[in-house]
Amino acid sequence: MSEYLLDVRNLKTYFPIKGGLMRRTIGHVHAVEDVSFKLKPRQVFALVGESGCGKSTTGKSILRLIDPTAGQVIFDGQDIAALPQEEVRLLRRDMQFIFQNPYSSLNPRMNVWQLLSEPLKTHFNLPEWEMHKRVEAMLDKIGFTPDQLHRYPHQFSGGQKQRISIARALITGPRFVVADEPVSALDVSIQAQILNLLVQLQQDMALSMVFISHDLNVVRFISSEVAVMYLGSIMETGPTQDIYAQPRHPYSRALLSAVPSLDPQRKKVRHALQGEVPNPANPPTGCPFHPRCAYATDLCRRQRPALTEQFGRMLACHHPLED
């Protein structure tokens, strides 16, 4: 048994593009291109990046909600990517997914009791009273009262819905969760509450978490390690503090410099990027970032930089930013 709970190795997820008269595959969208990272128990690991950079697909591929094309996902010594669906289904008791949008991810025809007892019924063979006990304990954790058990999702606010959604994911007592932008669909005023709840539950339940977000402030608040993704690949990964303090990858720096600051005294240098994100169905040769990078050389255009350890972090860049 290694010190890591989750070890993602060279994960690739491609989606076929069908076209033509016979609906043949005429190409692939390279949604996740060779992603590797490790997660220790009780650690919160964040995946950040712009929309469409493959962070959600990475999260879903890890949990086999989408079948990855290649690579290994070693969870607790077992390669999930190679297991048959039925065995993955049984493992879900230990690994869960928190959805982005609580308005659409809760079945409108099920009340709170049904939503929370269903995972228990699926994975445990518990007597009725024991299920009640667990559901009520979970309700207590998310700040609900038992009289709300028989209400339906539409009778709750967005923040309350997301609490229910989190409770549904955590009620089986998983060791690992992927939270896919769990606060981005919510009002800013509610986001903090939900984040605090997540942090508290993560500590109470000794959860390991992959936290997917495009909100860099949220990521700084919640995670100890971060991976910056661009066009399906990790550009830079390491301790959140280090990377925020001094990004070494030109893309990370551009991303971080775009964070608005509330301090008017602080003068920031903006590192705005030119151009658009390339089409993931036709990714550039060499480094995926080279068409937009100010430091790109012939080497970058020819050869894809590998993720190697530099400056106490993992970095995929031929010309990292020096001090």
Partner 1 sequence: MTSKEHIIGRRLSRGDGLLKQLWQDPLGRAGFLGIALIILLAVFAPLIARYDVAQINARSRLAAPSITYWFGTDNFGRDIFSRIIYGARVSLIVGLVSVGIAAGIGYLFGLAAGYFEGRVESAIMMLMDIIFAFPSILLALLIVAVLGTSVVNTMIAIGIVNIPVFARTVRASVKAVKGTDYIANARSVGLKNGAILLRHITPNALAPFTVQATLALSGAILTEATMSFLGLGIQPPSPSWGSMLSEARTYMEIAPWMVVFPALFIILTILSFNILGDALRDALDPKLKL
Residues near partner 1 (CB under 8 A) are: 63, 65, 89-93, 96-97, 99, 101, 103-110, 118-119, 122-123, 152-154, 165, 168-169
Nearer Cβ to partner 1 (69/105): 105
Nearer Cβ to partner 1 (72/101): 101
C-alpha distances in Å from residue 203, one per residue of 42, 173, 196? 7, 13, 11
Nearer Cβ to partner 1 (120/139): 120
Nearest to 116 by CA among 171, 158, 154, 194: 171
Closest approach of partner 1 to the CB of residue 284, in Å = 31
Amino acid occupying residue 224: S
Paired with 121 in beta bridges are none
Nearer Cβ to partner 1 (109/267): 109
Strand pairing of 225-230 and 6-19?
unpaired
C-alpha distances in Å from residue 251, one per residue of 180, 270, 295? 22, 12, 11
Question: Contact, 70 vs 130, CB < 8 A?
Answer: no
Closest approach of partner 1 to the CB of residue 87, in Å = 11
Nearest to 111 by CA among 159, 154, 171, 169: 154
Nearer Cβ to partner 1 (147/323): 147
Closest approach of partner 1 to the CB of residue 23, in Å = 12
Q: Determine the distance from the C-alpha atom of residue 232 to the mean position of all C-alpha atoms in its chain, rounded to a whole number.
A: 13
Closest approach of partner 1 to the CB of residue 11, in Å = 18
Closest approach of partner 1 to the CB of residue 152, in Å = 5
